[in-house]
Amino acid sequence: MTDSLSPLAARNATLGYGRVAISEGLDVDIPEGEFTVILGPNACGKSTLLKALARMLKPSAGQVLLDGKDIHSQPTRAVARRLGLLPQSPIAPDGITVADLVARGRYPHQGILRQWSAEDEKVVAEAMAATDVTELASRGVDELSGGQRQRVWIAMVLAQQTPLLLLDEPTTYLDITHQIEVLDLCAKLHREGQTLVAVLHDLNQAARYATHLIAMRDGAIVAEGAPVEILTAATVEKIFDLPCRIIDDPETGTPLVIPRAGPRDL
Amino acid sequence: MTRVQVDASDRKAPVIRFGDYSVRLRRRTAAAIGGTLLVLLAIAFWAASTGSFAMGFDRLWAALTMNGTTADEFIVWTVRLPRLVTGICVGACLGLAGVLFQTLSRNPLGSPDILGLTQGATTGALLSLILLGGSLATTSAFAALGALGTGLTIYLLTRGGDPSGYRLVLVGIGVAAILAGINGYLLTRTNTIDAFRAVYWLTGDLSGRDWDQAGAVAAVLAAGTIATCILVRGLDALRLGDATATALGVKVNGVQVAALITASVVTAGGVAVAGPLAFVALAAPHIAARLTGSSRSFLCAALVGALIVTAADAAAIVGIGERQLPTGVVTGVVGGIYLMWLLVTQRKKGVMP
């Protein structure tokens, strides 16, 4: 079963760790050119789904399709030129500089005797400019603030030059200013034509930035579509067991989820 | 006709391009490698001209170019050069093993001594000494088998899981503990003479090594170097974590297994010929990282290993109070002092630990 509409999809996929299945028979399509956000309560399988889409996790049944073909049957370097991933907690080697780390993103385009082409130079410079880290180029990654560091990692993934970009909780561990900074950057990349998939925790941020939402619960997809359609009081309660009201975000007009006040708060 | 171009726009790391091919040279790494090589050559020359049969540089040069006296040529070509070449190759093997294991385990203490390969080699050597009366050749072969067997055991025990990081270190420490127990048991079952020989082997020594051994360890080193050159880009990417490395298109498991095999083989080669020379595999990568200012230079780590062993062996030949020492006694002291000196002098520079 292949369809040419979505560049990345899961077909009847069973995902899990060892013998524990988190999701069974999952069908997902990542629409091209959209900023997709996967959301759901803790342990609902959203990170597992992202890992499977990024081929970090092999489905025990079913398939993940990249451009219509099983992702695990394609050469790993070829996949790395189509699909980039920023893991939840990436490791920066001690003492590495920003420029060096961003340059690592060129790996799938390089070889033993093709270590640093003029193209590599240009792409790395562009990736650093796009994420506004050019001034930090010679600084050590471990000296940076959390927000700066996350922008550097995004620059590294951008240097990989992939049409698809997967981000696993890119805003976790950041304060609110840096969260917005990272999401604004994602929105800018989306406007420039990049297909993005991110796992986010904050519903209101998801509503404001995503163009496509995938809501999960207990390993299954509960709702899928544009934020205005998905983020209704009924659906949010179904996903999170959280009674709430939905109002229009005064800044953007997107849905804003307001949890109902409990007896304690009254 | 393509020309070689040098793009020096990045002052720290100019790029040399030839048509579609390009190589990046970090200036500081190149300087560290060049410097280490020069010091290594200087010590090697000095070691070749000194010792109980001292000769000046002019006589050494004459002997090297086959213009010396028969005695000089004999001393240089059959005694000193094989020992020097063995020492250099053994040191390079251990340095390479150290940097491979440290990269693989993502642990600055990951070395063949911690992970049990040295203990495995010792078990092999002890079995040979006790059961077969062990000539140097059999002991070497058994030691190599012991190290390789330990590498294989670690591979099998970490298989299926993640053969890197904590798992590798913990499995290695467990294996090392078991082997240390076996080694202790074997030593108690020996007579005094065998026990003395065993302890001598355990210290590690380079005296009396001939061209056969030099050739064997040089071949192992060459194979290890080629394998490392192929693996180095993948290993570099692995420093970013398994997830990022996979995302970048590295066959993570393949690179890890190949690196584990390479590290085990070079350890086996080095330890088989010289015994478990203390501290070289552990210290060489750290010293190289401090010299190059980056933990990425595998070549520099190998050269530093060669330098430690050669310097230690030269010191061992000169000895203390006219008495020659086993090389292994000195490697720990030389490597340790050098590492301490670097740690103290570079404390404020914030280079990697």
Q: Is residue A10 included in any domain, yes or no?
A: yes
Residue A84: its pLDDT value, please?
A: 94
Q: How far is CA A173 from CA A42, A149, B212, in A?
A: 16, 11, 59
Ranges under pLDDT 50 in chain A? 1-3
Residue B160: predicted pLDDT: 65
From the candidates B6, B22, B105, which should be mutated to test the interface with A, based on the most A CB atoms within 10 A?
B22
Q: Answer for the pair B291, B32: CB distance below 8 angstroms, yes or no.
A: yes
- Pair A74, A174 in one domain: yes
Does any domain span residue A87? no
| pLDDT tens per residue, range B182-202 | 999 998 888 888 888 888 888
Q: Are residues A194 and A260 in the same domain?
A: yes
List the one residue out of B109, B44, B115, B83 whose CA is nearest residue B267. Answer: B115
Q: How confident is the model at residue B142 (pLDDT cuts 50, 70, 90)?
A: very high
Residue A76's pLDDT is what? 92
Contacts of A108 in chain B (CB under 8 A): 248-249
CB–CB contact A94 B229 (8 Å): no
Query: Please, which residues 75-114 of chain B have a Cβ atom closer than 8 Å to chain A?
Result: 106
Confidence class for position B1, pLDDT limits 50, 70, 90:
very low
d(CA A15, CA A62): 9
Kindly report the nearest CA distance between residue A57 and chain B, in angstroms.
10
Average pLDDT of the segment spanning B55-66: 84
Which of A108, A136, A161 delimits the end of a domain? A161
Question: Same domain for A15 and A104?
Answer: no
Work out the mean pLDDT of chain B and round it to a whole number.
85
Greater confidence, B346 or B286?
B286
Share of chain B above pLDDT 70, in %: 90
Residues 6+ apart with CB under 8 A from B229: A112
The reply to whether A115 and A29 lie within a common domain is no
Do A179 and A151 have their domain in common?
Answer: no
CA distance B274 to B263: 17
Does the distance separating the beta carbons of B293 and A95 come in below 8 Å? yes
Which of helix, strand or coil describes residue A226? coil
Considering the domain architecture, whether residues A123 and A15 belong to the same structural domain is answered as: no
> Which of A135, A161, A187 marks a domain boundary?
A161
Residue B86 or A118, more confident: B86
CA A29, chain centre distance (Å): 14
State whether A178 and A122 are in the same domain: no
pLDDT confidence of B307, banded at 50, 70, 90?
Answer: very high
* Tokens representing residue B177 in the block: 């503990």
Q: Position A31: which residue type?
A: P
In chain A, the largest separation of any two C-alpha atoms, in whole Å, equals 69
Same domain for A173 and A72: yes
Q: Which domains are present in chain B?
A: 78-349 (1.10.3470.10)
Q: Which long-range contacts (CB under 8 A, 24 or more apart) does A10-13 make?
A: A10/A49, A10/A52, A10/A53, A10/A59, A10/A62, A10/A63, A10/A64, A10/A65, A11/A62, A11/A63, A11/A64, A11/A65, A12/A61, A12/A62, A12/A63, A13/A52, A13/A59, A13/A61, A13/A62, A13/A63, A13/A64
Tell whether A261 and A180 lie within a shared domain: yes
How many beta-carbon pairs under 8 angstroms link A with B? 96
Q: Indicate whether A116 and A172 sit together in one domain.
A: no
pLDDT bin (cut points 50, 70, 90) of residue B6 is low
Give the end of a domain, one of A131, A161, A191.
A161
Question: Which pLDDT score, from 0 to 100, does residue B94 have?
Answer: 95
Give B162's contacts in chain A (Cβ within 8 Å).
none
Domain assignment of residue A243, yes or no: yes
pLDDT per residue as tens digits for the range B220-247: 999 999 999 999 989 989 888 888 999 9
- Give B297→chain A minimum CA distance, Å: 13
Number of domains in chain A: 2
With bands split at pLDDT 50, 70 and 90, how would you rate the model's confidence at B155? confident
Residue A222 lies in a domain: yes
* Interchain contact, A112 vs B24, CB within 8 Å: no
A171, A68: one domain: yes
Q: What's the confidence (pLDDT) of residue A2?
A: 45
Full domain range(s) for residue A209: 1-82+164-266
Q: What is the pLDDT of residue B333?
A: 83
Query: For residue A216, is it within any domain?
Result: yes
One domain for residues A182 and A208: yes
Q: Is the pLDDT of residue B296 over 80?
A: no
Helix, strand, coil % in chain A, rounded to nearest 5: 35, 30, 35
The per-residue pLDDT for A82 is 94
Indicate the helix (H) or strand (E) that contains A221.
strand A220-225
d(CA B341, CA B335): 10
Looking at residue A65, what is its pLDDT? 95
CATH code, domain with A212 = 3.40.50.300
Q: Is the pLDDT of residue B348 over 70?
A: no
pTM: 0.86
B24: chain A residues, CB-CB within 8 Å = 115-116
